[in-house]
């Protein structure tokens, strides 16, 4: 099996081992999961993040080619955002362009001016938001939202309503609100964990409760305040949500929401879900957004981070040289990343031999000297990013090492 064959990764017994047996029943296998990218809306709420209009259009083009199902942008933020939304709509992309705003007629007028066919509106439903943020009653919140939905429908728009802070709201009120939205013929309902209060089982329960009450397709939108955005998003999908909200590099308000790369790969590789993503572009979109925002991708970021495929410990390097599956569940080529080896105080004999062979040196005494010298230094001296040519040499070395050992 080729290392970049994403379709077969989860079926590679040597790669996944007995993991699937522990994971147990998989309700997402074969299910179509839609990916809504909110880098141009939620992403710009990350402190320090902003884009020019040309950058917004470029990101939209890239996301569309990547394969996301929907791209969200908020034209109500500024004149520049409205112009960007218009240009993105005019670009004729395959992804659905979703204009995001409040549950107000004037916000919907701006969406209509942009030429979108799909509008997303939000209204808080938790008592703490209604009391301190909006200063309206539950009844007023519902009435205001239904008025906006009626207005949008009267103007031919498809509509998604986000029940902001649903995870802290009265469950009976959330379900009743959703049922009223269904009667008003909304096209989607989004259920967010706005402040990261949910555990995966809690998010499952929230989505399942609403799913049992209405037939409207559900979205899940989870914030990462407690580091559970991805886990909670997956739990929401398992409970019946059909679309998950993500951003490139996990950007978003405060510490962000579920990350595009992590979410799509987890769904495809671990759950064998049907997601329409060109995975080999994930590293590229991560670096594009990093370049435009000057917000670095953490080295520790899974899949697209600088350390994601960097091997340092001598035993790890030796194992990877023999078979990368030993420490890489998803090969770097799948996401457009590269494998890197660190040469320093932790390097072992196998890694030293490989390094010397790169320079055409094959002598056991020289290998011992190199290992000893690096250990005496006790620091990471340098790292080697493996090019295509080096990877070919590595494959030859793997054949030799595996025959010998």
Give the mean model confidence (pLDDT) for residues 295-315: 92
Q: Which tokens in the block code for residue 138?
A: 């539950």
Confidence check: pLDDT of 231 > 60: yes
Given a cut of 80, whether residue 299 has pLDDT beyond it is: yes
CB 88 within 8 A of CB 310: no
The residues of the chain that CATH labels 3.20.20.70 are 32-293
Q: pLDDT, tens digit, for every residue of 368-405?
A: 666 566 566 665 556 778 787 777 776 776 666 566 65
Confidence at residue 378, expressed as pLDDT on a 0 to 100 scale: 61
pLDDT at residue 282 greater than cutoff 80 = yes
Of 290, 295, 343, which Cα lies nearest the Cα of 321? 343
Q: Measured on CA atoms in the order 96, 102, 106, 107, is the torsion positive or negative?
A: negative
Q: What predicted TM-score, i.e. pTM, was given to this entire model? A: 0.92
Of 400 and 126, more confident: 126
CATH number, span 32-293? 3.20.20.70
Over range 329-357, report the average pLDDT: 77
39: burial class by Cβ within 10 Å (0-12, 13-18, 19+)?
Answer: buried
For the segment 26-36, the average pLDDT, to the nearest whole number, is 97
For residue 182, what pLDDT is reported?
Answer: 98
Average pLDDT, the chain: 91
Three-class DSSP labels, the chain: CCCCCHHHHHHCHHHHCCHHHHHCCCCCCCCECEEEECCCCCHHHCCCCCCCHHHHHHHHHHHHHHCCCEEEECCCCCHHHHHHHHHHHHCCCCCEEEEEEECCHHHHHHHHHHCCCEEEEEEECCHHHHHHHHCCCHHHHHHHHHHHHHHHHHCCCEEEEEEECHHHCCHHHHHHHHHHHHHCCCCEEEEEECCCCCCHHHHHHHHHHHHHHCCCCEEEEEECCCCCHHHHHHHHHHCCCCEEEEEHHHCCCCCCECEHHHHHHHHHHHCCCECCCCHHHHHHHHHHHHHHHCCCCCCCCCCCCCCCCEECCHHHHHHHHHCHHHCCCCCHHHHCCCCEEEEECCCCHHHHHHHHHHCCCCCHHHHHHHHHHHHHHCCEEEEEECCHHHHHHHHHHHHHHHHHC
What's the pLDDT band for 2 if we cut at 50, 70, 90? very low
Residue 393 pLDDT: 72
pLDDT in tens, 68-96: 999 999 999 999 999 999 999 999 999 99
Determine the Cα–Cα distance for residues 345 and 375; give it in Å rounded to an integer. Answer: 4
* 30: Cβ contacts below 8 Å, ≥ 6 apart: 272, 273, 274
pLDDT at 380: 56
Lowest-pLDDT choice from 170-179, 187-196, 301-310, 372-381: 372-381
Give the pLDDT band of residue 200 (cuts 50, 70, 90).
very high
The answer to whether the Cα torsion of 144, 110, 216, 209 is positive or negative is negative
């Amino acid at each position: 099996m080729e290392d970049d064959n994403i379709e077969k990764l989860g079926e590679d017994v040597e790669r996944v081992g007995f993991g699937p047996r522990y994971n147990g029943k998989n309700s997402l296998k074969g299910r179509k999961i839609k990916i809504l990218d909110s880098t141009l809306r939620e992403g710009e709420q990350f402190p320090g993040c902003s884009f020019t209009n040309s950058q917004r259009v470029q990101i939209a083009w890239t996301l569309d080619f990547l394969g996301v199902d929907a791209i969200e942008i908020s034209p109500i933020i500024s004149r520049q955002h409205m112009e960007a939304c218009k240009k993105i709509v005019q670009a004729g992309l395959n992804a659905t362009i979703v204009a995001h705003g409040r549950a107000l007629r004037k916000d919907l007028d701006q969406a209509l001016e942009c030429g979108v066919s799909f509008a997303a509106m939000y209204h808080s439903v938790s008592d703490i938001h209604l009391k301190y943020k909006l200063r309206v009653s539950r009844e007023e919140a519902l009435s205001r939202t239904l008025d906006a939905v009626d207005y949008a429908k009267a103007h031919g728009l498809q509509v998604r309503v986000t029940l902001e802070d649903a995870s802290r709201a009265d469950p009976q009120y959330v379900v009743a609100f959703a049922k009223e939205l269904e009667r008003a013929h909304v096209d989607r309902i989004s259920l967010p964990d706005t402040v990261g209060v949910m555990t995966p089982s809690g998010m499952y329960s929230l989505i399942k409760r609403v799913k049992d009450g209405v037939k409207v397709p559900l979205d899940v939108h989870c914030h990462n305040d407690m580091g559970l955005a991805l886990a909670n998003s997956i739990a929401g999908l398992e409970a019946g949500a059909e679309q998950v909200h993500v951003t490139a590099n996990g950007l978003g308000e405060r510490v962000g929401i579920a990350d595009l790369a992590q979410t799509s790969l987890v769904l495809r590789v671990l759950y064998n879900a049907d997601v329409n993503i060109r995975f080999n572009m994930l590293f590229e979109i991560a670096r594009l957004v990093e370049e435009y925002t000057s917000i670095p991708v953490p080295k520790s970021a899974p899949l697209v981070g600088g350390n994601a495929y960097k091997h340092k410990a001598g035993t790890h390097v030796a194992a990877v040289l023999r078979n990368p599956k030993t420490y890489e569940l998803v090969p770097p080529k799948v996401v457009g990343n590269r494998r890197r080896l660190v040469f320093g105080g932790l390097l072992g004999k196998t890694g030293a031999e490989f390094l010397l062979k790169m320079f055409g040196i094959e002598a056991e005494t020289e290998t011992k000297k190199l290992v000893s010298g690096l250990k005496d230094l006790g620091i990471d001296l340098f790292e080697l990013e493996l090019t295509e040519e080096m990877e070919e040499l590595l494959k030859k070395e793997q054949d030799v090492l595996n025959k010998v050992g």
